[in-house]
Structures are given as C-alpha cells and as structure tokens.
Amino acid sequence: MNPALRLVRDGRFVLAGLYLAVICLVASLGSLIVPYPADLVNSAHQLRPPGAGHLLGTDEFGRDILTRVMLGARLTILVSLSSVAIAVAGGTMLGVTAGYLGGIAELVAMRLVDAILSFHPFLLAIFVVTFLGPRVENLIITIGILYIPQYARITHVVTLAAKQQEYVQAAQAIGARTARILTRAILPNVLAPLTVQLSLGLGSAVLIESGLSFLGLGPPPPTPSWGRSIEQSARFMSVNPHAVIWPSVAVSLTILALNLLGDALRDNLDPRLRTL
C-alpha cells in the first residue's frame, strides 16, 4: 500500500496532524484572534475560575488565560521550528560528510558528537542560555546546536550503509562528483529517518523551551510563554489551580501530538515495521 495512503488511514497521524495544524494556525494569527490584549491587567478579576467572559479563567494579575495560552503558542512554535531547522541542517551536513569521507574527518566529527551527547541537553541548555542571556535568538541557537548530534548520528549510520550500495559505487566508478553523489544517491536514503526524528525533535524542543522559560531563562516578560505562565501561577496553585493547569495541558498535548506524529511516520515509512 502507498505510504501516503497508510498515513491518511492512521488515526494517530490524523488526530495529531489536526491538533498541530490548529496550534500553528493560532500561532500564525496571534493577536488577530485573541479575545483580549496580552497584558491587559484587571485587578478586579484576579484568579477568576473559567466562566463567561474568560473561558479558561484569569491569572494572578487578572489577565485572560486563554489569551496568554494562544499567544504563548507563537513563541513555542517559533523556537521549536527554528531550532530543529538548525539541528537538521547542521546534523545532516555533519553526518553525511563524515560518513561518506571517512578517515580523520569521520573520527573527529563523531567523537565531537559523542562528547556533546555525553551531557544531558537540558543541563547544557541551562548553562549556555545563562551565559548568553535569555533572548529568543539565544534560545533558538542553543537548542539547535544541542540537537545537531542526534541528527548527525542518524545520517552518519544511514550514509555508511548507503555508501556500500552498488549504485553509489557505480557513480564513484564513472567519476561522478562528490556533491552529486551526496545529493542524488545518499540524501534520498536519509529523508525517511530524518522525517521521523524531526517530529520527535520538535517535541523535545517544546519541552526544553518550556523548561527554560519556567526557570526564567526564556524571553523576558511581557512575552507570553507557556513555561513562564506555569512558573508565575504555580505559587497560587493552592488558591486556584486552573492558572497552572491550562498552560501545562497545552505543553503536554503539543508534545504528545508530536510524539504520536513521529510514531505514525516511523510505522508507515519504515518498511521493516509495516504490517499487512
């Protein structure tokens, strides 16, 4: 069966895709569709429960939680997509080059990858962002660089296997340029595993961005952020927990959707995992 048709019939892919499409739409439209201004403070409506006028309630400053959650999606999507784009580009270039050239280039590149992978990415992210400062650009660059090794390892393994194939050796025998071999023979083999890792990497990026924002290492106020909203409202959780619950649900559902999407892509794109 056609892989595209398999994906369309996979409930995980459909549900996760619809949810992520809605999140991306909300992030794109932003302030055009939110019910209130992002920083509209109303001391008379502090910690209101969900109800008329405020569908998800209000936080400790009287700000509308629905508005904050919707605008927080923009930062999450921006950081996740941008950082993963850096990771995919850098990791693919590093892994494919090291796998195809071999020798000293492969040894140095992969040992550098192993060194970075020996540290937990979240701990490294805390260290780097603390040093560079809590800005959106620093957050994107940090997360992107920290996840380059994961994509480098995947593309390196696939390149080593593809390099042994007859069509690659035939291209080498007729004197094809290295760039042509890499783009025409090697990279097509890398696309399927990269697509799967891409969705999983986006989930990890969402988690790290939210965690750093929770620790105060994300973009400073008044920029709406799911992680910062959780941190600011956590102290009032015993009084009215909804201010913490809703941004937490947004983070959890987004990561779950990305993981389900990755599972569906893996099961339908990997021939070894396909079931009749």
pLDDT score recorded for residue 152:
92
Output 185 or 91, whichever has higher pLDDT.
91
Instruction: Give helix then strand counts, H and E, for the chain.
Output: 12, 0
Q: What is the mean pLDDT of residues 4-24?
A: 87
Q: What is the C-alpha separation between 16 and 41, in angstroms, rounded?
A: 34
Q: Which residues contact 203 (CB under 8 A, 6 or more apart)?
A: 254, 255, 258, 259, 262
Average pLDDT, the chain: 86
* pLDDT cut 90: percent of the chain above it: 25
**Which pLDDT tens digit goes with each residue over 33-49?**
888 887 788 877 888 88
**275 has pLDDT over 60:** no
Of 269, 265, 249, whose CA–CA distance to 201 is shortest?
Answer: 265
pLDDT tens, position by position, 118-166: 888 888 888 888 888 888 888 899 899 889 999 999 999 988 888 888 8
Q: Phi, psi (5° rounding) for residue 274?
A: -70, 140
Q: Enumerate domains of the chain plus CATH numbers.
A: 3-273 (1.10.3720.10)
Looking at residue 276, its pLDDT comes to: 44
Residue 54 pairs in a beta bridge with: 51
pLDDT confidence of residue 86: 94
